[in-house]
Structure 1
Amino acid sequence: MKLQHYLGGLEDLGPATFEKRVFVEEWEKGIFGIHTAMMALSPQLPLPATPSTFHTIWTWADLRKGAESLNPFDYFKFRYYEKWLGGISGYFIAHGYITEDELDAKTAEYLADPDKPLPAGGDPAIDQRVEQYLAQGDSPKSDAGPAPVFNKGDTIGVKDVPTIEHTRLPGYLRNHTGVVETVYPGNYGYLCDTGPDGAGPPMPVYCVGFDPQQLWPGNAETNFTIYADLYAVYVTEPDAVPAPVVKAA
């Protein structure tokens, strides 16, 4: 589990910033637009062909992996869309759309002359595909996949799956038990194969409730429940998780 993700229960990480603006600076809107266009033009989607030269798969998962690959100290230093910028830039370099030297040169060019006009472009076919994608979305719900093993009210255990590149399982829930609140109808896939982590193909998803006193003994409020939506691959029988370690006083 990478340090900078799913930080429930960790203390002394410094002051929290509660920025309520969606976009703090104007350039962030452009990053959001680039990400949206990349998703819409991703070739695995059943949408009309366009003359776009973008030919590789890009999803929310790729965006997350790009941000998560940052050094933890950089991750905490940069703002939200700065992490997006780093992940997208790294993706374009890794897939051969631009070299690192070309990107550095273009960056220096615009830093030297911030008012320099951006390249002209645009194609109605590309715009139409992006608009169609925004209108219909890309649902993860599927009729394929196995039937759920657990039912509402069942106690389940949470596995400690190996995390190599990306995960949707919070670290603070691992090796704990909870109670199934909801079994969502249908099955749900993830945007990419997460390898040994196990998410990817369509599977049941459970809403599971956890007692915060079990998660953080002696260091949590009482009389409330923490809920998490968990892929079936993350849950198991309660006796399959190790007993909690009790620290001596």
Structure 2
Amino acid sequence: MHPPRQGEPPFSQPWEGRAFALAILSNRASGGNLDSFRHALERLDRAHYIGDGYWGRWLNAGELRLLDSAILAPGAVDARARNLRGEHVEEPPVPEPAKPDYAPTAEGTLRRLDTSPAFAVGEHVRAKDMSPAGHTRLPRYVRGHVGVVDIVQPAGVLPDTNAHFMGENPQYVYSVRFDSHDLWGTDGDAFELTVEMFESYASVIAAHARNRLPNRFGRPESRSPVRAAGPRCSPRPDRPQAPHGVMLPPARAARQCRRARWPRRTRALRRRPRP
């Protein structure tokens, strides 16, 4: 792979351009949309997805869309290809088309919502650990993991329902940043990965779970001084506590609790040597 060179043709071979055009026209003729075409790509078997290359994959997905809408009969393409090679085979009859009853509410995929986004920039969210039977744009490697919202994007058509012609169901989209060590372990390189997630892909993290998020050493660290010191070092109720929201390291929190339990005079007596 290399950046495009000046004057380089968009397709390395003429058949790739024809395959691209046929795939776009097939999806349009079958009454599909962008998400239904992506779902067709996902449903290809290994030979048609990998063996035929990138543009062959597009061509196979376009044929599958025509089969879904009964524009083509099963085996019609193979029979026509054999007849063009000089063989004499019977082609299947043309079926009655069954296009989906679908019409977009507006051009493109962006939509306007009257509600406010559920998440804000800087908020920790957890990608839902789900395994839908149909199409989804949530990558499997982030499911169940925690990320940070970087950008709140405009609302868009939800691919999970739009691919199956079950409504647009527009939702806000969030650019969520994940840590590579959280996704694949600490043996690999350290980098951050940003994933575009629809609102229904994310869930709110409870307050007690936010206090146990991993620190930079990969170990959970409590954000509460009392929890950090442990139940055997809880401070006295008549002693002043740390201000709300102050995050103390566990060692410092433990020292604070010990000082709260034992007044200075008691500590001085404990350190006084015995006669």
Q: Same fold (TM over 0.5)?
A: yes
| TM-score, structure 2 normalization | 0.58
The match for 1:133 is: none
Candidates 195, 215, 229, aligned match of 2:183: 215
Please report how far the alpha carbon of residue 209 of structure 1 lies from its aligned counterpart in structure 2 after TM superposition. Answer: 0.6
**Structure 1 residues 194 and 174 mapped into 2: Cα distance closer, same or farther (>3 Å)?**
farther
Tell me how far apart the structure 1 counterparts of residues 150 and 42 of structure 2 sit (CA, whole Å): 30
Q: Does 1:140 align with 2:109?
A: yes
Candidates 76, 79, 96, aligned match of 1:102: 76
Candidates 6, 13, 25, aligned match of 1:37: 25
The match for 2:156 is: 188
**Structure 1 residues 218 and 161 mapped into 2: Cα distance closer, same or farther (>3 Å)?**
same
Conservation of the 8 A alpha-carbon contact between 2:26 and 2:63: no
Paired residue secondary structure (1:228): strand
Conservation of the 8 A alpha-carbon contact between 1:146 and 1:203: no
Q: Does 1:232 align with 2:220?
A: no
| TM-score, structure 1 normalization | 0.64
Paired residue secondary structure (1:142): coil
Conservation of the 8 A alpha-carbon contact between 1:180 and 1:208: yes
Conservation of the 8 A alpha-carbon contact between 1:210 and 1:226: yes
**Structure 1 residues 19 and 107 mapped into 2: Cα distance closer, same or farther (>3 Å)?**
farther
* Same amino acid, percent of matched pairs: 22
Tell me how far apart the structure 2 counterparts of residues 145 and 72 of structure 1 sit (CA, whole Å): 43
The match for 1:62 is: 36
Paired residue secondary structure (2:11): coil
Q: Does 1:164 align with 2:133?
A: yes
The match for 1:9 is: none
Q: Does 1:92 align with 2:59?
A: no
The match for 2:51 is: 77
Tell me how far apart the structure 2 counterparts of residues 68 and 80 of structure 1 sit (CA, whole Å): 13
Tell me how far apart the structure 1 counterparts of residues 31 and 2 of structure 2 sit (CA, whole Å): 31
CA RMSD across the alignment: 3.4
Q: 1:59 is matched by which residue type in structure 2?
A: N
Candidates 16, 38, 42, aligned match of 1:28: 16
**Structure 1 residues 199 and 161 mapped into 2: Cα distance closer, same or farther (>3 Å)?**
farther
Tell me how far apart the structure 2 counterparts of residues 152 and 83 of structure 1 sit (CA, whole Å): 38
Paired residue secondary structure (2:176): strand
Please report how far the alpha carbon of residue 225 of structure 1 lies from its aligned counterpart in structure 2 after TM superposition. Answer: 1.3
* More divergent stretch after superposition (81-90 vs 19-28): 19-28
The match for 1:10 is: none
Conservation of the 8 A alpha-carbon contact between 1:145 and 1:203: no
**Structure 1 residues 112 and 79 mapped into 2: Cα distance closer, same or farther (>3 Å)?**
farther
Tell me how far apart the structure 2 counterparts of residues 161 and 59 of structure 1 sit (CA, whole Å): 24
Tell me how far apart the structure 2 counterparts of residues 199 and 157 of structure 1 sit (CA, whole Å): 25
**Structure 1 residues 192 and 171 mapped into 2: Cα distance closer, same or farther (>3 Å)?**
closer
- Higher-Rg structure is 2
Tell me how far apart the structure 2 counterparts of residues 195 and 238 of structure 1 sit (CA, whole Å): 29
**Structure 1 residues 59 and 229 mapped into 2: Cα distance closer, same or farther (>3 Å)?**
same
List gaps (5 residues or longer) in structure 1.
1-17, 43-53, 114-136
**Structure 1 residues 149 and 235 mapped into 2: Cα distance closer, same or farther (>3 Å)?**
same
Q: 2:69 is matched by which residue type in structure 1?
A: H
Tell me how far apart the structure 2 counterparts of residues 141 and 161 of structure 1 sit (CA, whole Å): 25
Tell me how far apart the structure 2 counterparts of residues 161 and 76 of structure 1 sit (CA, whole Å): 26
CA deviations 1:147-179 (Å, max 9, x no partner) are: 211111101111012321211001110000000
Whose relative contact order is higher, 1 or 2, with alpha carbons under 8 Å and at least 6 apart? 1
List gaps (5 residues or longer) in structure 2.
4-8, 88-105, 219-275
Conservation of the 8 A alpha-carbon contact between 2:124 and 2:147: yes
